[in-house]
Amino acid sequence: MHDLRELYEEVILDHNRSPRNFGRRPAECNRTAHGHNPLCGDQVEVSMTFRGGVIEDISFSGEGCAISTASASLMTQALKGRSGEEAQSLFDAMHAVLVNDEPPDLERLGKLGALLGVKDFPMRVKCATLPWHTMGAALAGRDTPVTTE
């Protein structure tokens, strides 16, 4: 039960209930990518306005579980206004913690730390990382859909 409370922390539930930067594409959006988790049917679209090496605006849409929705929502908040390199490096940091089980730098992760509860649920890690992989594809200008499998 302890684990479950960490997985579904207040921040996650809040972002699932009212996802931020959700459902609209940014004005002058010039990068979009799609992600899909065929195992559970999660679909996510990440769109951004990327200019002068900076993510000026970013949003997402789609249908997914609480973990993927909250992860996408928190991600858009964390990345708005960041440079492409910063975004990539934050993605790498999340990946290192969630997938490679490296110790987290909580200060750097900030609110994203709420996603760490997923580590105890190996079947759910992909739910948390899907929006990030999709963001990475959008940033790189790849429009082939990202899949978790």
65 sits near another protein (criterion: CB under 8 A): yes
CB closer to another protein out of 13 and 140: 13
User: Does the footprint of another protein cover residue 114 (CB under 8 A)?
Assistant: no
How many Å apart are CA 127 and CA 32, to the nearest integer? 19
Does position 4 interact with another protein (CB under 8 A)? The reply is yes
Distance CA 21, CA 19 (A): 7
Among 31, 42, 50, 133, binds another protein (CB under 8 A): 42
Rounded least distance, CB 24 to another protein, Å:
20
Beta bridge partners of 22: 60
Instruction: Indicate whether 11 belongs to the interface with another protein (CB under 8 A).
Output: no
CB-nearer residue toward another protein: 31 or 124: 124
State the residues that interact with another protein by CB under 8 A: 1, 3-5, 7-8, 13, 39-43, 63-67, 69, 121, 123-124, 127
